[in-house]
Amino acid sequence: MPLDHYVTLGHSGLRVSPLCLGAMTFGEDWGWGSSVKDSEQILDAFVARGGNFIDTANAYTKGHSEKIIGDHVGRHAAKRDRLVIATKFFSNLYPGDPNGGGSNRKAIIAACEHSLRRLQTSYIDLYWMHAWEVNTPIEETMRALEDLVRDGKVRYLGFSDTPAWKCAEAQLLARFRGWAPLVALQIEYSLLQRTVEGELMPMARELGMGVTPWSPLKGGVLTGKYARDKHGKHEPGRGAWTVSALNDKAYDLIEELGRIARELDTTQSRVAIAWVQGRPGVTSTIIGARTLQQLEDNLAAVDVRLTAEQLGRLEALTKPALNFPADMLANGAAFYQGGTTINGRTAPPWPGSPKDDSERY
C-alpha cells in the first residue's frame, strides 16, 4: 500500500496515511535525536511522499518537538490544514505542581492550551491520553475531552498505553453519554511485543479504535544493527530499554529477519514494520527517524509483501504467552460449534457431548 493510499482511523472518517511519522526524535534536548534542521527535512520528506499523519506529545524533548512542528508547519495554514497532527497530554513539565500533569480537568485543559501555543495552531486533530492515570475518575477525563471537542480545540480522541478494561469503560461511557468517542488506540506492538494480542487488540477492533503501534522496531533492536556475536558490546542510544531486549530470543528473530530480508531484497527494518502494519486492527504504524536515511528506509516498508510462509516463520519465533483466559477461549470452538464450520473456522465436536439422541436427557 503506497503512503498516499489513505485509510480511515478506527470508527471515524478521518483519513490518515498507513505510516505515521513519530516526532519523539525532533530536537536534541534529551541528548539524542534530530537537530531542528534535520527534523524539518524529515518532516518535508514525509509529506512529499504523501504522508499526512504526525504524532508528537507535550513531553517530547521537553516540548521542543511540538515547537519544531509549529514553527515549520503550524504557523502556515496551507501546510497545517493538510496534516493530521496528533499530540498527547499526561506528562508533567512543571516539577512541584501536582496538577501539572495527569488526566484531571485542570491538567488536560492547561496541557491543551500549551500544546496549541507550541504547535501554533487553533486545533489538534487527534488528542491522546498518553497513559492511564489511576487518581482521576475516567468520567472526569472523558468529560473534559468532550468539552475540548465541543470548543473546537480538538477534533478526535484516542488513548495510549492504557489497559483494555479502562479503554472499554471510557468508550462505553462516551457512547451512553453522547460524548465524543475514542477512535484510536496507541500501544507498543512489534515482533518482540505481542502480548497486546490478548486483550488490547481485540478490544480495539470490537470498540472501533484504529490501532497505531509505536516502536515497531523495538527501539532499534530489529533494524539489524545488533548481532549475537557482539552481545554486551552495544551502546544503543535508548540505553537500558534497548539492551534489556537483546537476548537469545531476540537474536534468533534478528537472524530470521535477515534471511527474509535477503529473500525479498530489502532491509530487516522494512520486514519488521511490514509485519506490524499487516496485523488485523492496525491502521497506521508509527515510525521514528533520526535521519533522512532512516526515514527513507522505513517508508519503503509499505512496498514489502510477506508471503504466508515467511509470516509463519516469524510467528513461530514470536508467538506470545497470553494471560488467562486466552488459551481456553482459543480452544472454545469445540464446545459450541458442534463440529460445524462457522465464519470459515472448523472445530471438532466436544468429546463430552452426546453422540446421538439415545445419550441425550
User: Active-site positions?
Assistant: 60
Q: Which of 209, 204, 150 is nearest to 177 (CA)?
A: 150
Three-state helix/strand/coil letters over 112-151: HHHHHHHHCCCCEEEEEECCCCCCCCHHHHHHHHHHHHHC
Question: Helix, strand, coil % (nearest 5) of the chain?
Answer: 45, 15, 40
Beta strands 84-89 and 53-55, pairing class:
parallel
Q: Name the grid cell of 92.
A: 508533567
Q: Which of 249, 270, 261 is nearest to 319 (CA)?
A: 249
Q: 341 pairs with which residues across the strands?
A: 346
Backbone angles phi, psi at 75, to 5 degrees: -80, -10
Strand runs (DSSP E) across 161-241, as ranges? 182-186, 210-211
Report how far residue 35's alpha carbon sits from residue 32's, in angstroms, rounded to the nearest whole number: 9
Report how far residue 133's alpha carbon sits from residue 215's, in angstroms, rounded to the nearest whole number: 22
Using the CB atoms, write b or e for 89-101: b if 16+ within 10 Å.
bbbbeeeeeeeeb
Q: For the chain, what is the radius of gyration of the CA atoms?
A: 22
Hey, what amino acid is at 274?
Answer: A
> Is residue 19 helix, strand or coil?
strand
> Is residue 239 helix, strand or coil?
coil
In which order are the strands placed within the sheet that holds 182-186?
Answer: 210-211, 182-186, 154-160, 124-129, 84-89, 53-55, 19-22, 285-288
